[in-house]
Structure 1
């Protein structure tokens, strides 16, 4: 690469650089470290302060995606990370980084590792207090970066070439190990400073800190005693089993123990749902009756990676007591009311699997994609229970399924997956439009994986709605430009979910079938359909060319007017908009709790 170092008149810097074994520019060092941890595509938006840094990406084996805006880029990086394990997002100072913060906050909340690289003004300009473009006007150049600090598990502002390699390596390691976003501030005058490239010969240590063996053995013995004594034990798997890379140990526990196993809504896809001891989705009042009864009468619940919240537990309607719960987390194990900090669940669960005693097994319910008898009818219109269960039969092993905030996040609970399906949702952060932009990142990551293993087919399938797609619809143009082939289902209705949640509709009707060509797709590069009846759905699912997903597929589904998923109806009962008082309307989105009290206290997310 024919880049020359810009002189800043600092002769001591030149002397230091001459002592380097293998001098390399900061931007190249960073890009090579990103490549090392598995990243192959970088999301973001170019800006004045990151343009030179972007020049290094292709030289280092990274492709530049280039998104429509920073919010979309952040959501796309989130989706990419959930498939590849980690991702990178490049934005620019001020207007760029702030536009991405909603997405970064979502990644932080839901434990998604995103490396956020922000191109900032030169260090000398920041020191001199110069009024650069994109200012806040308060004379403090760190204001924007300070907004990112609470949303990052590691924060580094690169300013001294002697420290920069350590800072970059530290940030990337923390991003991986803690599974949360990190912030790397890259000033324009640091991009081409020289640092020691010989360090690249040693990969970043991404291993987890080992548990104290004595403490680990003690807790394992305690857990095993409770498991052996239990008469009616179950396993409940949640999202942080996925985020903190504990799925291998979790799968072994599920298969070896044969205990009835349930997942939370955020834990969909964490367990092989084809296993005979898989029993369904537990979501409090949103659960099937058999599931709710089996979980809530268990005398021992092995809870793995819990991330409880009001939407995943319709209005905190879980009824599982801490007195019967053992919680496994990334940083502690909680046995009933006793906490054991600094214990990572991976090692603890592995030893439990290796030492499993004879257990007492009481079988749980067997979920099915069949339509329950009392819900059968002769209507041709599309109802949610009918659609989601029929859709589940159409899914294939290894599919990647994204569901949008609202109706799809609830509807997918009713679908039993085939093996190795990856589910992506944002139930906790719950930002409308997330799934459409995340589909771009997930589909790109799937494309990369298929290039490594051409015999493996990974379909990327999005379920969104007419009220949420417009929030990030521009990213469909990036999907088209990058020749990605997701299957996109858009659910339209007369806003039944909006009425259930007392939420006014915020979008005018769109002609969705005209959307894809208007965003640049040429004829023959996509297929679109409008489906209104059950026969049309069955014909679509039987279409071989549609199933092969060799081009972008866009399907508009017209759902029955007064129908909604069971889980959404339960959520509307337990989580409602606060009623007005004496004619005064509540604050927008003011949620109040209405329903039975949960028995697990106020803990709402995985322990941090």
Structure 2
């Protein structure tokens, strides 16, 4: 039997433990989907192109590498938002696009005949994806495929960013040699790491109140154990950015909480903002962190994107894995400083009264155990989600920097395939409107996320930013363009294939609904009805 281009691509993916291909199949990539089963890969057909991108992103964050294929033009351009978020937040997704054949391109050039889904510009998809990937390439001949695919996958593994591979639609079934050798994700050290580590550790030991802030690259590059060892050997206080929440278990000496400005928990804000030396390790900073990083460069050491910047000095090359190893070695040369015990969250009390934001998050906190991966959306409760007492490592997934609403519901589809934990989604109703169809994918593939929707018929986060006085004056109407059409969430969920869906408005009923959802092996939806004037406890 002929080994084909599709076989080559899928073999390389399977070698990296990829066992799901997300997408909405179009004719241009049909042969790729048709070959998946022979390679032990499940073709997960989603309800929209955007969902496919988010799902592949959620899978990549939990499994290490994701893959997605949708129709050229209409599909990949619809999905570009999801891949933009993966690029910003260091999530290695492989976008596989069935592109136009040479014959298509020739007819376009000579006769202005548009191939299917064409804009009339032959490189539209390729050009667009160059903006949101670490590598974007096109294969026009079968002979090109091995080198282009291997190069793209290697780039994804090394940079932890998405890549784009466009393969002409008539190539999938063409003969292709089998892969040889294995792909290496190793990034060679720069040779500066030991020297930089000595300087950094010396400055930490000389500081009075140093803090280590952990970023997403620590998780993406598999450095959590080494960083935990570093913290222990230094005796340093530590925090994490929201994107990196639960990269390490949130316990142990020195833990001060998640730093998520401008509404961080007081202990985390005080520790990070008043540190006389802040070492940020693998952090990607959104605008909320601007005041911290622009106003304190004279006392910040930053390591990210293959660079190290010590205070106001110039950036220097340094591979983060080699740097962390060197930091651990250097830290072991002297005993650790005494560090305070970990910050602990107060135990939630029993359920009382009507549901509020505070009540929803307290009830979730009471129910959390090591079986869950919490997947909050970007909504008014995201600052509450930052303080949830998740259990263990890799128990949290969020679009914390790109901040695209609706990410959570669709990303949980991918997480349900990529993680051994069960996704617990917490989403505003505005974000849920964006990707509600993902419930259908959960039901079709027997995946069991539990989706909690905050039902207040309002784009509440935008209302808070546009006119926060609304929340302190109960009789005030909301900004008209921020109101939502009120959905019947239970009927919608049932129509999309969920048998477990209910709406609740008291803490006691919420507890009962969440316990029932956890006891079931099926996906579930809980609509939590709250007063639209209510605010989370973390907001003024």
TM over 0.5: yes
Confirm or deny: 8 A CA contact 1:400 1:421 kept in the other structure: yes
Matched, 1:418 2:397: no
Aligned equivalent of 2:185: 206
Aligned equivalent of 1:98: 77
Which residues in structure 2 correspond to 1:141-156 (within 5 Å)? 141-156=122-137
C-alpha change, 1:61 and 1:549, in structure 2 (3 Å) is: same
Paired with 1:340 and 1:508, the residues of 2 have a C-alpha distance of 50
Pairing partner for 1:218 from 183, 189, 195 = 195
Pairing partner for 2:405 from 422, 425, 432 = 432
Bigger Rg, which one: 1
Paired with 1:506 and 1:109, the residues of 2 have a C-alpha distance of 30
Aligned length: 521
Aligned equivalent of 1:327: 302
Matched, 1:47 2:26: yes
Q: Where in structure 1 are there 5+ consecutive unaligned residues?
A: 2-22, 450-457, 571-608
CA deviation after TM superposition for structure 1 residue 488, in Å: 1.1
Aligned equivalent of 1:510: 487
CA deviation after TM superposition for structure 1 residue 361, in Å: 3.6
Confirm or deny: 8 A CA contact 2:297 2:311 kept in the other structure: yes
C-alpha change, 1:145 and 1:327, in structure 2 (3 Å) is: same
CA deviation after TM superposition for structure 1 residue 421, in Å: 4.5
Matched, 1:246 2:228: no
Confirm or deny: 8 A CA contact 2:422 2:449 kept in the other structure: yes
Aligned equivalent of 2:475: none
Q: Where in structure 2 are there 5+ consecutive unaligned residues?
A: 467-478
CA deviation after TM superposition for structure 1 residue 101, in Å: 1.0
Matched, 1:563 2:538: no
Paired with 2:80 and 2:166, the residues of 1 have a C-alpha distance of 14
Pairing partner for 1:290 from 242, 267, 274 = 267
C-alpha change, 1:298 and 1:80, in structure 2 (3 Å) is: same
C-alpha change, 1:119 and 1:506, in structure 2 (3 Å) is: farther
Aligned equivalent of 1:595: none
CA deviation after TM superposition for structure 1 residue 99, in Å: 1.2
Confirm or deny: 8 A CA contact 1:389 1:414 kept in the other structure: no
CA deviation after TM superposition for structure 1 residue 161, in Å: 2.9
Paired with 1:300 and 1:292, the residues of 2 have a C-alpha distance of 14
Aligned equivalent of 2:476: none
Aligned equivalent of 1:82: 61
CA deviation after TM superposition for structure 1 residue 370, in Å: 4.2
CA deviation after TM superposition for structure 1 residue 247, in Å: 2.1
Paired with 2:301 and 2:238, the residues of 1 have a C-alpha distance of 14
Aligned equivalent of 2:471: none
CA deviation after TM superposition for structure 1 residue 497, in Å: 3.5
Bigger shift: residues 48-57 or 362-371: 362-371
Aligned equivalent of 2:453: 490
CA deviation after TM superposition for structure 1 residue 144, in Å: 2.6
SS at match of 2:401: coil
CA deviation after TM superposition for structure 1 residue 184, in Å: 0.7
Paired with 1:538 and 1:92, the residues of 2 have a C-alpha distance of 42
Q: What's the Cα RMSD here?
A: 2.4
C-alpha change, 1:98 and 1:538, in structure 2 (3 Å) is: closer
Aligned equivalent of 2:430: 467
Pairing partner for 1:268 from 245, 248, 265 = 245
Paired with 2:275 and 2:493, the residues of 1 have a C-alpha distance of 50
Confirm or deny: 8 A CA contact 2:248 2:394 kept in the other structure: no
Which residues in structure 2 correspond to 1:1-12 (within 5 Å)? none
Confirm or deny: 8 A CA contact 2:406 2:434 kept in the other structure: yes
Aligned equivalent of 1:69: 48
CA deviation after TM superposition for structure 1 residue 498, in Å: 4.0
C-alpha change, 1:236 and 1:549, in structure 2 (3 Å) is: farther
SS at match of 1:273: coil
- CA deviation map 1:31-66 (0-9, x unaligned): 111111111010111112111222211112111111
CA deviation after TM superposition for structure 1 residue 509, in Å: 0.5
Which residues in structure 2 correspond to 1:27-426 (within 5 Å)? 27-129=6-108, 131-136=113-118, 138=120, 140-197=121-178, 200-212=179-191, 215-311=192-288, 313=289, 316=291, 321-356=296-331, 357-363=334-340, 366-370=343-347, 380-426=353-399
CA deviation after TM superposition for structure 1 residue 156, in Å: 1.6
Confirm or deny: 8 A CA contact 1:497 1:564 kept in the other structure: no
Aligned equivalent of 1:24: 3
Aligned equivalent of 1:20: none
- CA deviation map 1:333-366 (0-9, x unaligned): 1111224432112211112112212343453772
C-alpha change, 1:536 and 1:517, in structure 2 (3 Å) is: closer
CA deviation after TM superposition for structure 1 residue 223, in Å: 0.9
C-alpha change, 1:67 and 1:546, in structure 2 (3 Å) is: closer
SS at match of 2:222: coil
CA deviation after TM superposition for structure 1 residue 317, in Å: 6.1
C-alpha change, 1:332 and 1:265, in structure 2 (3 Å) is: same
Confirm or deny: 8 A CA contact 1:111 1:243 kept in the other structure: yes
Matched, 1:499 2:476: no
CA deviation after TM superposition for structure 1 residue 154, in Å: 1.1
Paired with 2:254 and 2:390, the residues of 1 have a C-alpha distance of 14
CA deviation after TM superposition for structure 1 residue 259, in Å: 1.6
- CA deviation map 1:257-303 (0-9, x unaligned): 33221112222112211324221122334123333222222111121
CA deviation after TM superposition for structure 1 residue 318, in Å: 6.6
SS at match of 2:187: coil
SS at match of 2:287: coil
The TM-score normalised by the length of structure 2 is 0.90
